[in-house]
Structures are given as C-alpha cells and as structure tokens.
Structure 1
Amino acid sequence: MTRYLISFPSAAMDVPAGAIQDVADAAHAVIREARAAGVYIFSGGLDEDAGPVLVAVDGKAVEGAYPETARLSGGFTIVDVPSREAALAWAARIAAACRCPQEVRAFRSDPLA
C-alpha cells in the first residue's frame, strides 16, 4: 500500500456562500466512505489565520515560510491505497464533493521509519 496526499489550495474553491454547508456535508460523506473502506489516514485544512513558522537547524524559530511555499493553503486528505489508480479514484470523489480539482502526490516509503 502507498500513501497519497490529495490536496487543493483555498483559491481553487469558488463556492457561493450559500453552498458552503452542502460542500462540507459532501466532503465529510467522502471521508466517512474512506474510513469505512479502510484507506483513510488523515485530513484537514490549514489554519490560514495562523502563519507558518520556519525552524532552523539550530532550533531558532522565525515567522515565515520557504519562499516557494509561502502561499500554501487549503485542505488535504491522506489515503493509504494499493495503487495510483485507487488514489486518483478517491481524488475524483473528493473533487466532486469540494467542487474543485485535486492534486495527487505519492509519499515515499521510508523502510527505517
């Protein structure tokens, strides 16, 4: 089994204010289905009100992020599935529920972890 990150940036969601609850309900239904199928690992949305903190190798923390990730936002789901095709199928269900395209990336396995 391989774990996949399924994600989207906040800007991808163009949902009218009156439809937000419908989107949340549909997304939660997909998560319940993923749990029932035994593939669900974790999901959530980044807290965009709490800025990132970059921690250096010496342990010092400074407000901010790597320049290329400064705009990281949105939501994500991690699934553990037997194939890329299975991950794409779950991404399609999440895309339909959230009404926006989803990006899919595989995690590398660390045999020592």
Structure 2
Amino acid sequence: MPRYLLSVNHSAGIYNGSRTYQAYDSQEEMEQAFADTAAFNERLEASGCMVFVGGLEAPDSATTVDGQGDEVTMRQGPYSPSNDSFIGGFWVIDAPDRATAEDLAAQGSRACRSPVEVRPFAGE
C-alpha cells in the first residue's frame, strides 16, 4: 500500500517566539482542537492507516546541519528562515490511493485547524 506524509503547516504568525503557538483565539478553542486531533488519530489508527504521528517543537528549537563541504556547519534555527510557515506536526500513513490520503488529510486539517500537505513517499 502506498505511504504518504501528511504535514501540518502553520503560518509563522501563530508562533510568538516563546515556544508557544497563537493559532487559537482562546484556550478553549485550543483544547478543542487538541481533542479533535486526538480523536482523528484514534480513527486513523483504528482504520489501519496510521504508521506514525508526531508533533514538533517550535522552529527555534531546530538546528540546520550542512555536511556538504569540507567542514560541517551548524546553524541554530530552521533550514528556511523565511518565517512564512513551518511544519508543526505530521502523520505518516498507508493509504490505498492518493484520493484516500487526501480525504484523510482533509479530516486531519479540520481537526487541527491548519492546512495539511499530502506528499507520497518516493517509489511508492
């Protein structure tokens, strides 16, 4: 069965620089989004499609490592410092086809209240 990455894309405007996200208008809305996402994860697991799911720390927790040259360079921060958006979490799923993966991404997007990119793994 083909494998897909469903990545949750947050706009940079929701990150306030103190490792907290301002994606929600209230604490209650955030708690509901987390509950909805947990319920989606449970449905995904019950369907047999879930391979792995994970949330990521804020972009400033990243280290970018470049080993292409004679010396390895490391820089604190995300690879793309453009601040347009960042990946906040992801699902790795097995789905029979892209349409199913896209339907699951729509459900995940609705639950977490952020856009979700669907990308097949190479060679799938």
TM-score bin, normalised by smaller chain: 0.7 to 0.9
Partner residue of 1:15? 24
Partner residue of 1:99? 113
Report the CA distance shift for 1:61/1:79 in structure 2 as closer, same or farther (over 3 A): same
Matched ranges for 1:51-66 at <5 A: 51-57=62-68, 60-64=72-76
Task: Give, in whole Å, the separation in 1 of the partners of 2:101 and 2:116.
Answer: 11
TM-score (normalizing by structure 1):
0.79
Runs of 4+ residues over 4 Å off in structure 1? 64-67
Cα deviation, 1:5-29, whole Å, max 9, x if unaligned, reads 1112222873223211100010011
Residue correspondences, number: 109
Q: Secondary structure at the match of 1:25?
A: helix
Partner residue of 2:51? 41
Q: Unaligned regions of 5+ residues in structure 2, if any?
A: 15-22
8 Å contact kept, 2:2–2:96: yes
Shift in Å at residue 99 of structure 1?
1.8
8 Å contact kept, 1:54–1:66: no
Report the CA distance shift for 1:45/1:59 in structure 2 as closer, same or farther (over 3 A): farther
Task: Give, in whole Å, the separation in 2 of the partners of 1:59 and 1:29.
Answer: 46
TM-score (normalizing by structure 2):
0.73
Q: Unaligned regions of 5+ residues in structure 1, if any?
A: none
